Amino acid sequence: MTEPQDQGAPRDTVQRIPRGEAFLDVRDLKVHFPTDDGLVKSVDGVSFKLERGKTLGIVGESGSGKSVTSLSIMGLHPPGVAKISGEIFLDGQDLVSSSREEVRLLRGKRMAMIFQDPLSAMHPFYTVGQQIVEAYQVHNEVSKSVARKHAIEMLDRVGIPQPDRRVDAYPHQFSGGMRQRAMIAMALSCDPDLLIADEPTTALDVTVQAQILDLIRDLQREFNSAVIIITHDLGVVAELADDIQVMYAGRAVEYSTAEDIFDRPQHPYTWGLLGSMPRIDRERSERLIPIKGTPPSLINVPKGCAFNPRCNYAHLNGGASETDRPELLDVGDGHMVACHLSPKNRRQAWETDIKPKL
């Protein structure tokens, strides 16, 4: 699918959560971009599994590697631009070692993606119906009239009023929420087994956001799809996700069930994300707790733990945070954390400093 990366260095040893039969299995995925300034390590050793009918939320700040991971799964990185290594198994087929044509035939039929901005993702010169028809006919040998009927059915299924008329409208003639619904209709036109939603509600108001999230949930139940929700909005993953992976500087720093991530977060970065999230039940006099500093350059990632320059607890590790990169390890009940903090220090920081302020 892309140029293989140098395999001379040993692979990271990553502990994995025992799961059921995984439909999507990502193993030690690395996506690096050579530039004139250096090697951009956008994704640097990410592993996770996802079953049919389940939803994985991937959260993190901009530049953490969320979207690059999803584009790697979809095979949408231009050839020769990204160096990809690791393995991505979709129902047993390794997408990394597959040819671009093999991945193209899977795209749309077995896996599909809802992009962040449907106005830029959809072609402005073609009607919404024409674009759904084209996507459907690529994978189904049907006449144009049958494909058009299917497009109308899909627009109706995602809640667009008067679908028999709106099928002939252009993307700019739809509101933001309706465009996102049309994008979902296009993505689901071939009943994909894997649906990736990249920031699906970013540009929408709160009411429309709730409608789109409800729609994704209902359609997932109908199709029994595996779903990946990529977002920086913890409220979105709280609404939809079964499991959550927190990413920072191209690596996973925490992975567990959504309930555990919100009730018993273990990583200082996750604490920072939760502390900076506005809550309606917070006193007006209480201030949000922002994460100090900015994410690191992915060309010059700090040695050791990439989060250590911004971490309030790095001094408790005897300097390990500055020299040794922590591995993603199970700290109990399948809760995975990449952090040098001892269980005692982590528990004390959570109970005394973090939990009372959330």
Structure tokens at 102: 């093999």
The answer as to whether 29 is a domain residue is no
d(CA 351, CA 358): 11
Share of residues in the chain with pLDDT > 70 (%): 94
pLDDT tens digits along 40-91 = 999 999 999 999 999 999 999 999 999 999 999 999 998 889 999 999 999 9
Residue 345 has pLDDT above 50, yes or no: yes
Structure tokens at 214: 């409800």
Structure tokens at 203: 């540009």
Q: Which of 191, 217, 249 is the last residue of a domain?
A: 191
d(CA 19, CA 224): 18
Determine how β-strand 329-330 pairs with β-strand 336-337: antiparallel
The answer as to whether 36 is a domain residue is no
Between 200-204, 277-281, 351-355, the lowest mean confidence (pLDDT) is in 277-281
The answer as to whether 338 is a domain residue is yes
Write down the pLDDT at residue 20.
Answer: 53
pLDDT tens digits along 122-166 = 999 999 999 999 999 999 999 999 999 999 999 998 999 999 999
Beta-carbon count within 10 A of 11 CB: 12
User: 202 or 55: which carries more pLDDT confidence?
Assistant: 55
The answer as to whether 269 is a domain residue is yes
Q: For residue 137, give its domain range.
A: 123-191
Q: Is residue 270 very low, low, confident or very high in pLDDT (cuts 50, 70, 90)?
A: very high
Q: Which of 191, 224, 241 is the last residue of a domain?
A: 191
Tally the domains of the chain: 2
Q: Is residue 11 very low, low, confident or very high in pLDDT (cuts 50, 70, 90)?
A: very low
| Average pLDDT for 304-324 | 93
Asked if residue 269 and residue 187 are part of one domain, the reply reads: no
Residue 17 has pLDDT above 50, yes or no: no
The answer as to whether 177 is a domain residue is yes
Q: Which of 168, 191, 214 is the last residue of a domain?
A: 191
Residue 136 class from Cβ within 10 Å (0-12 exposed, 13-18 middle, 19+ buried)? buried
The answer as to whether 311 is a domain residue is yes
Residue type present at position 117: D
Q: Which residues contact 267 (CB under 8 A, 6 or more apart)?
A: 246, 253, 254, 337, 338, 339
| Average pLDDT for 20-39 | 92
Write down the pLDDT at residue 14.
Answer: 37
The model's pTM is 0.89
The answer as to whether 23 is a domain residue is no
Write down the pLDDT at residue 6.
Answer: 42
